[in-house]
Amino acid sequence: EAQVTQNPRYLITVTGKKLTVTCSQNMNHEYMSWYRQDPGLGLRQIYYSMNVEVTDKGDVPEGYKVSRKEKRNFPLILESPSPNQTSLYFCASSLRSGGSDEQFFGPGTRLTVL
């Protein structure tokens, strides 16, 4: 089944404890992206990747890191999480980044930072 998977789905952690949220897609998509979703603000892009070893900042990259060593994986790293990073996170992928290429979303990761 074609899908985007994320792990973990739910995470409660404490300020400053490094964490990684994994994202993997099995559709051979070139483009991958991370979003956070907060009430009233919609989906905001954190980082994106056009292809392997090509990543760039989105609108809200502060406090986050990403890597794209393989085409299928795009992990999101929070080196020192803070309470303002409490949010619902979605990973998405598309064949490429342009035209009518729709983005497929993972199931989401609900992160709480205490």
Partner 1 sequence: GQNIDQPTEMTATEGAIVQINCTYQTSGFNGLFWYQQHAGEAPTFLSYNVLDGLEEKGRFSSFLSRSKGYSYLLLKELQMKDSASYLCAVRERRGNKLVFGAGTILRVKS
**Residues with Cβ < 8 Å from 113, sequence gap 6 or more?**
13, 14, 15, 81, 82, 83, 84, 85, 86
**Beta carbon nearer to partner 1, 10 or 15:** 10
Does residue 1 bind partner 1 (CB under 8 A)? Answer: no
**Beta carbon nearer to partner 1, 73 or 97:** 97
Among 11, 43, 77, 95, binds partner 1 (CB under 8 A): 43
Report d(CA 88, CA 70) in Å as an integer: 24
Report d(CA 53, CA 43) in Å as an integer: 24
Site string for partner 1, 89-108 (x = CB under 8 A): -x------xxxx-xxxxxxx
**Beta carbon nearer to partner 1, 12 or 41:** 41
